[in-house]
Every structure is written in structure tokens, then in C-alpha cells.
Structure 1
């Protein structure tokens, strides 16, 4: 979910983002590490633009619903230092569950996979977002905040600031940060999250605070003896932002509405079950096809 407020917040942060990307690029080049690709840069920026446009449109359409929902708020919450701190913590808590669900519910993963489909890890990867988040229902995870009594526009700004913070964890040039690692999400923690190594899959879902992963058993520390392999199990091999956006939706609907699926429960499993179920189906079909050809 986003809005003009979210876009304005991210625009204000844009100069800082640009400085970080330039410094990262120069440092990587100095190391002889070719982690920047012009084609991927254009793809990532295109995805960011499409994502922002879809968020603005979605919020214009959804704002009447948010305001309607807000009238049923439990508390009258005014903007005080305490309420500002509390909404940041609560929104981050709900973000953790949105992010964790996005790796375990195929309908949500169809949107989120665009962010993970890069095989590089640099600041531009943070811009790799999907325009289909409003369709998959990311905004539903913020509605409890409105029911509690936080004004919808304030919630939107907090969401934007949370996402803005996450830009800074998408890099390989920053090592571990001492005591900061115990409380906050860091580049080290987030490198683990973007890895497809078996030791790291579906770990470290934090937005700002890593404490949620530690509380709910999804935390894994980055290890020096593991060389991280970034990306998704089945690489998309394309710089086309629309391929990055829609390839998993195509898989989802193809499997869920295949003629050989006669059971409603089977169809619902492919739509809302774990993404691994679909991956296993694709792998089994490919294996059977290869066997027949041999």
C-alpha cells in the first residue's frame, strides 16, 4: 500500500539513496567486483516506477475503505512521541508477518518473488518491487493499525519510512555492525534473507527490528564459511520488468486452473498453499518429460 505521501517520503530520501549507490558502485569497482549491470539497473528502476504508480492508484481506490474502517477504531490516538514510537513498532511487527506470509503463501509470493529474482545483492536490488502488491493484498496487513486508531495517512507514512530503512540493508559492502545486530535488521541479516542456500532459505524476515525473527524462531546469523548464492530456485533469465513481475502469476494460475485439477482443494492449494508445492510440481513435470524423451 502506498500513496502520494509514500512517494513524497521516498522522493525526499532519493538523494541519499543515490549517494549510497554511487559510493557502493565505486567501492565495488575498486575491489574488482562487477556487481552492477546496466540492464539490471534499468530493470530495477522500471520495477520501482511501476510499483510506485500502482501503489498511488491503489490507495486512491482504497482510501474510502480505509476511512470507513477507521470510523470503527478502538482508541482515539493523537500524535504524541509515545504514539509515534508505538506505531513504528506495531507496523514493523505486522510487516514481519506480511513478509513471512509472502514466503509461505503462493498468492503473496507471486508478488514478492520479483524482489528476490535478482542474482545480485546491491542497493539497486531494494528498488526491485512488484506492481501487483495491491492485488495480492499487502495493504490488508496495515488495516489492524487503523482499527486500533492510527490515522490512515499516518500509517502510510510509517510504511514508507519502514521501506526506506530497508534500502540500506541491500548491500554486500557493509559487514557486521556490533550491538546494532542484536536489535535491528542489518545488511548481514538481510544477505541471509536473499540467499537461496539451503541453510538460509526463508529466514530473517525483519523490516527494521530483527527481534521478531529472534522471538518467532526464524533468525539465522550470517556465517563466514558459507558463500551466499543469491536469487530464486528457478532463475527468470530476463531483464524485462514485466517478466520479473508476472512470471510467477503465470505459474500460479497455470497450475491452479490446469484441466487435470478437478478438486477445488487442489486448486486452492496452488493458489494459497506453500510456494514449494508449485515448485515440486514443476520439477516433477520436467522430470517426467525428460524421462519420456530419453
Structure 2
């Protein structure tokens, strides 16, 4: 029998191999392109996954004590003994994942880790496993604790999350077209290209893991448009080829803002408000960027002399 650790290792090796095959193919296809394939993006992703595997050997995760506490106070003890129970677990996990992912974009403390995943300036399969080495330290497990409280064993919750993330591996590419009716229910490469885009119209959209039904329900679904090609990366692109800079630049900027906040409340705001929020009012949040973009569009549309 394979242990859980060995299975995880083999799966990781498999997806890394597939991503390297894609990288080789794209290198040949884009050899004479104006934007040739950037192998440094792949190396940074490989450094990230290696760092996370090493950190996994240390007892640093906040999930263990959080889940243990919630499990001790669970209101039921569930068993996956029917298709209905498996389906309910899937939907519940997807719901929790949606809010975890949305919070990772809307709360700067969580964004400091999640920004690493959005830092590639090209979208490839290797982008899928660049997740940020500080993820286990941020306490994001709280978003999945309700499932444990309802009686799902912590290891089952984590295993289900792993399957969710594994599904998302294939979403990170630019060569899969739209998939017709599949787009209405499931997360697809087209929907996920929007999620990774830094275009103002595409920011903070499509947070689902396997499904897009909660995005449609809560108004965060945005369709990829032919007239608005996706630009990948962050709104302020990461140009460094140093993995340490990529991993920690957002934590450093957050610490700098907190240190210079001037008051406890302002410091707290820097931690819990959306990335881009500024105490001086010169915001670069998604809402502020959209207002600026809307104003610029109105200015362009005004004819001279009017």
C-alpha cells in the first residue's frame, strides 16, 4: 500500500513532468514570437513547490490545532457511506473554497501568500503549482473548519481540498478554447484565464475551484472576451527572477506599511482591507482601479469642443 505522502509525491512529480512537456512545446511554438517562452517562470514555480515540500516536513501548519479544536466540538459525526453524502461534501467543500479564494484576493494578509500564485507573467501549467511557501502559516484552514464542525474528519477535508486543487492544474493554460455548455457549470481554462488576468475588467473574478456556480450566484463570474485579451501577472508586475523576492515581496511591503501606519487601527486596516488600500486615500484597490478606468473611458468618449 502507498502512504498518503508517497501518493502526494507521485502526483507532484506527474504534474511537474506534464508542465515541463508543455514548456518544451511552447518554447518551440514561440521561438520566433515577439513574446518567447520564459523558462525563468518555470524555475520559480519549481523552487516554490520544492520549498513547500521541505516545509511540509516541519510541524508549522495552523490547520492541525484549528481542526483538532473544531473536531472536538463537532455537532455531528458524518460518514461517507452514500453517493449523496459524497455529493454534499463536494458542494460544501466547493462553497468553502470559494470564500477562501475570494478572501485571498480581498484581505491583504491572505493576499501576501496568494499573490505568489498570480505573479507569473505568462500562464502555463507550471503556474498551477506556484502557491506560496507561507500558505501553511496564515491559518487559511479556518475557511474549511465548518466542514469539520459538521462532522467531516479533518483528513477527509484536506484530501477533498487536494482533489479540488488537482482538478485546477489543467486550467492554467492559454491553448484550451472555450468549452461550450461546460462553461456554465464548471471552472474551465477560459474562466481561469480571466481569474489570472490583470486587466481591470477581469480583476477579482471567477473564484471557484471545480465549479463556477457560486461565482454566478454571488456575482463574481466574468466571461473571457475576444475584444479584451488577458494580460497575465499582477497589476504591478513582478519582474524579479529571484524566488525569494517573489515569495516574500508582498509580506515585506505589508510589514513596511504596518510599521509606518502611525496608529493601531491603521495598521489593522493594512492587514485586513483589500490589497492596494492606502491610509492616504490614494488607493489601488480593484474598486479604485475600476473607477479610474471608467473615468478614463468617459474622458476618451467626450468629443473635442463639447
TM-score category (smaller protein) = 0.7 to 0.9
How is 1:261-276 mapped onto 2 (pairs within 5 angstroms)?
A: 261-276=261-276
Conservation of the 8 A alpha-carbon contact between 2:63 and 2:141: no
Q: Whole-Å Cα distance in 1 between the matches of residues 9 and 26 of structure 2? A: 25
**What residue is the counterpart of 1:131 in the other structure?**
133
SS at match of 1:230: coil
Of the candidates 232, 239, 242, which is equivalent to residue 240 of structure 1? 242
In structure 2, the gaps of 5 or more residues are 285-306
Q: Give, in angstroms, the shift of residue 79 of structure 1.
A: 1.9
In structure 1, the gaps of 5 or more residues are 284-294
Runs of 4+ in 1 over 4 A off after TM superposition: 31-35, 58-62, 278-283
Conservation of the 8 A alpha-carbon contact between 2:257 and 2:270: yes
The farther-off stretch of 139-148 and 21-30 is 21-30
Of the candidates 250, 255, 261, which is equivalent to residue 253 of structure 1? 255
Q: Whole-Å Cα distance in 1 between the matches of residues 30 and 223 of structure 2? A: 25
Higher relative contact order (CA 8 A, sep 6+): 1
**Count of aligned positions:** 278
Change (3 A) 1:257 1:31: closer
Q: Give, in angstroms, the shift of residue 282 of structure 1.
A: 8.6
**What residue is the counterpart of 1:22 in the other structure?**
21
Q: Give, in angstroms, the shift of residue 66 of structure 1.
A: 2.2
Q: Whole-Å Cα distance in 2 between the matches of residues 252 and 153 of structure 1? A: 32
Q: Whole-Å Cα distance in 2 between the matches of residues 131 and 97 of structure 1? A: 21
Q: CA RMSD for the aligned pairs?
A: 2.5
Change (3 A) 1:62 1:84: same
- TM (norm. structure 2) is 0.83
Conservation of the 8 A alpha-carbon contact between 2:62 and 2:138: no
Conservation of the 8 A alpha-carbon contact between 2:197 and 2:203: yes
Q: Whole-Å Cα distance in 2 between the matches of residues 264 and 7 of structure 1? A: 46
Q: Whole-Å Cα distance in 1 between the matches of residues 242 and 163 of structure 2? A: 28
Q: Give, in angstroms, the shift of residue 140 of structure 1.
A: 1.3
**What residue is the counterpart of 2:291 in the other structure?**
none
Q: Whole-Å Cα distance in 2 between the matches of residues 71 and 152 of structure 1? A: 11
How is 1:282-293 mapped onto 2 (pairs within 5 angstroms)?
A: none
Conservation of the 8 A alpha-carbon contact between 2:62 and 2:139: no
Change (3 A) 1:223 1:154: same
